[in-house]
Amino acid sequence: MDIVDLKILELLKDDGRMSYNDISENVGKTEATVRRRVKNLIEEGVIKKFTIEYNIDSKPKTRATVKIEPNFKEIKNILKGLIGIEEITDIWRLSGDCGLFIKVEIPSIEQFNPLIEEKISRIGGVKIMETCFITDIIK
């Protein structure tokens, strides 16, 4: 892999639908060369897949993080319970005394307390330590 391959990867990372012709103009190589290089990057496993980001629901969601202090004797049941809650999008197990950290997405802020009270807090061994609403996603 050389500097041209890296430039091609960066362009495709920004826009996976960029045409070979547009890429060739950006990297100073022919369209056939770019096509061959992309094919090689795919065959070598450097490019694993082309994907898209989308937003089907135009309504903004309310997002929050929740820090949980779990009873580690019940961690398997806790994780099983958390995984089963649809509104939880991410679960992280942290080192040290940090416990578990989850991210939730709900349609509105009014649904946050019922989520905590009726679903998350009912899992045995869960102690909620802190909740924070996400106000802006930077990256």
The verdict on domain 3-43 having CATH code 1.10.10.10 is yes
The verdict on domain 62-133 having CATH code 3.40.50.80 is no
Mean pLDDT in residue range 76-105: 94
Taking all residues of the chain, what is their mean pLDDT, rounded to a whole number?
92
Spans of all domains in the chain? 3-43, 62-133
Residue of 72, 109, 111, 110 lying closest to 93 (CA atoms): 72
How much is the pLDDT for 65? Answer: 96
How much is the pLDDT for 58? Answer: 62
Task: Locate 91 and state its tokens.
Answer: 């679960």
